[in-house]
Amino acid sequence: MSALIVREKLAILSDAAKYDASCASSGSAKKDSLKSGGIGSTEGMGICHSYAPDGRCISLLKILLTNFCIYDCSYCINRSSSNVKRARFSIDEVVKLTMDFYRRNYIEGLFLSSGVIRSPDETMGEMVEVARRLRLEEKFSGYIHLKTIPESSAELVEKAGLYADRLSINVELPTDEGVKKLAPEKKPETIRLSMARLRQKMEEKAEPTLRTKKRERFAPGGQSTQMIVGADKTSDDGILHTSARLYGSYHLRRVYYSAFSPIPDSSSSLPLQKPPLMREHRLYQADWLMRFYGFSQPEILAGSSDGMLDLAIDPKLAWALRNRGQFPVDVNRADREALLRVPGLGTKVVAKILETRRHRRLRLEDVGRICQSIAKLRPFIIAEGWSPGTLTDKPGLRDKIVRSCEQLSLF
């Protein structure tokens, strides 16, 4: 097979994968190649080896095994009715590409997804074979993420877990109705069951075995999923409800939100507009509030009129403005939970405030030094020699903060 042909396939099959938001290579168990004498390591924290002009990091070789697909999901460029060019990698080609890229330090590993050809088991079987060869024949210790095919057999998924760092199954859309409408052949019930089975398998394998007392390696990076935002009418509150359910029910490491992006040769049932990137960004921020800041899902948007996140300000600030009765918070006395709810205070800054105040009382300037900017913070905290007075309850507060933060915005 000539190099040119591989290059053409790579163009088609990476183009086909670019709508997938998930790419992280973090959260797996530590491993390296010192013992095996092979190639590759994962050290917990993922490494982004490059960045595309869309601002997204490139950490993995993210490709499809094939973009032939028997499904006809209207939001997907690879759906069977699409006129896109089709290609199919051989197992050897994927293994070689991964190793060639990894040896040159272009990537952290492989993110392999696929269209479904003929049968789910056949496709899944090939994906597992790629991972098996990388691990056993190439002695590859880098990161492998496999996107499992929901209808494939339990044995194949179990094999996949032996070789992969992370497994994922896309829920596709935030509601079952959305899936039924836009992905008529996909079954939300099956997707749920696959996630449930994966969680069970991970918990089962986390138990030490009776004989060796060792824990078997099984997808140490856990499972993740992705949903498309803005292709149907679900509100942000509804989307976050689905995420909270997924985190609670299947112990997902991450839920990825993917702003629906117009695709060439698109189905007429979908919004032909620029992807709602700011909405996607706010959803990620709200997701963090649930995972790291002790917010329960319903309270994030409680009291908002339309169940949508404010696009101009971050969700924590929006929450604080709706719940001003809980402020100001005294940085010298409040507990960690209360400090984490102050707009502008992140988990690291809160840890530093707690440590520092064991030794001295904090003034507003001290807080400013610890967290760089206090524009957002000032109305919500009490510090030594500082009280916001009536500032916390001022009617124009939101607009004032929006103006002072505008220049810092990334977009």
Partner 1 sequence: MRPAELNLVRYSVRLESETDFSGWRDAARRLALNEIKPEDISWHVAADSDRRPSDLPTVPAGAQLAVPRDFIARAETAFCHSDPSRFAFLYRLLWRLRSEPKLLAIASDPDTRRLEAMEKAVRRDSHKMHAFVRFRKIGEGNDERYVAWFEPDHFIVERNADFFVRRFTGMRWTILTPYASADWDGERLAIGPGAAKGDAPDQDDTEALWRTYFENIFNPARLKVKAMQKEMPKKYWRNLPEASLIPDLIAGADKAAKEMIARMPTTPAPHHAKVQAKHWPRREPTQSPNDDDAGSISELREAAKGCRRCPLWRDATQTVFGEGPDNAKVIFVGEQPGDQEDLAGKPFVGPAGKVFDAILDDAGVDRQKVYVTNAVKHFKFEPRGKRRIHSKPNAGEVQACRWWIDREFALIKPELAVALGATAALSLLGKAIPVTKMRGQVIEREDGLRVFITIHPSFILRIQEPAEKEAERERFLQDMREVKRLMAA
Nearer to partner 1, 247 or 386 (CB): 247
Nearer to partner 1, 258 or 392 (CB): 258
Q: Which part of the chain contacts partner 1 (CB under 8 A), choosing from 6-14, 305-313, 337-345, 389-397? A: 6-14
Report 168-197 residues binding partner 1 (CB under 8 A): 176, 185, 189, 192-193, 195-197
How many residues interact with partner 1 (rule CB under 8 A)? 100
Q: Which part of the chain contacts partner 1 (CB under 8 A), choosing from 94-102, 213-221, 228-236, 300-308? A: 94-102
Report 129-158 residues binding partner 1 (CB under 8 A): 139
Report 17-76 residues binding partner 1 (CB under 8 A): 17-19, 32-34, 36-41, 43, 47-58, 61-63, 70, 72
Nearer to partner 1, 85 or 394 (CB): 85
Distances (CA, A) of 385 to 334, 349, 361: 16, 20, 10
Residue where the block lists tokens 């869309």: 54
Provide the residue type at 356 as one letter.
T
By the 10 Å C-beta count (0-12 exposed, 13-18 middle, 19+ buried), 181 is classed as middle
Q: Which part of the chain contacts partner 1 (CB under 8 A), choosing from 128-136, 299-307, 359-367, 384-392? A: 359-367
Q: How far is the CB of 397 from partner 1 (least distance, A)?
A: 26
Distances (CA, A) of 132 to 47, 156, 208, 212, 291: 23, 12, 23, 23, 33
Nearer to partner 1, 266 or 326 (CB): 266
Q: How far is the CB of 2 from partner 1 (least distance, A)?
A: 13
Q: What tokens does 370 get?
A: 């610890």
Report 96-115 residues binding partner 1 (CB under 8 A): 97, 100-101, 103-106
Nearer to partner 1, 324 or 346 (CB): 346
Q: Which part of the chain contacts partner 1 (CB under 8 A), choosing from 95-103, 159-167, 205-213, 319-327? A: 95-103
Q: How far is the CB of 373 from partner 1 (least distance, A)?
A: 14
265 binds partner 1 (CB under 8 A): yes
Asked if residue 61 lies in contact with residue 97, where contact means CB atoms within 8 angstroms, the answer is yes
The binder of partner 1 chosen from 233, 369, 400, 403 (CB under 8 A): 369
Q: Which part of the chain contacts partner 1 (CB under 8 A), choosing from 79-87, 150-158, 224-232, 301-309? A: 79-87
Q: How far is the CB of 396 from partner 1 (least distance, A)?
A: 29
Q: How far is the CB of 394 from partner 1 (least distance, A)?
A: 28
Report 321-340 residues binding partner 1 (CB under 8 A): none
The binder of partner 1 chosen from 132, 291, 324, 398 (CB under 8 A): 291
The binder of partner 1 chosen from 127, 317, 353, 397 (CB under 8 A): 353
Nearer to partner 1, 51 or 233 (CB): 51
Report 198-257 residues binding partner 1 (CB under 8 A): 199-200, 244-245, 247-249, 251
Q: What does the H/E/C string look like for the chain?
A: CCHHHHHHHHHHHHHCCCCCCCCCCCCCCCECCCCCCCECCECCCCCCCEECCCCCEECEEEEECECCCCCCCCCCCCCCCCCCCCCECCHHHHHHHHHHHHHCCCCCEEEEECCCCCCHHHHHHHHHHHHHHHHHHCCECCEEEEECCCCCCHHHHHHHHHHCCEEECCCECCCHHHHHHHCCCCCHHHHHHHHHHHHHHHHHHHCCCCCCCCCCCCCCCCEEEEEEECCCCCCHHHHHHHHHHHHHHHCCCEEEEEECCCCCCCCCCCCCCCCCHHHHHHHHHHHHHHHHCCCCHHHHCCCCCCCCCCCCCCHHHHHHHHCHHHCCEECCCCCHHHHHCCCCCCHHHHHHHHHHCCCCCCEHHHHHHHHCCCCCCHHHEEEECECCHHHHHCCCHHHHHHHHHHHHCCC
Asked if residue 125 lies in contact with residue 168, where contact means CB atoms within 8 angstroms, the answer is no
Report 372-401 residues binding partner 1 (CB under 8 A): none
Nearer to partner 1, 16 or 321 (CB): 16
The binder of partner 1 chosen from 90, 235, 267, 304 (CB under 8 A): 267
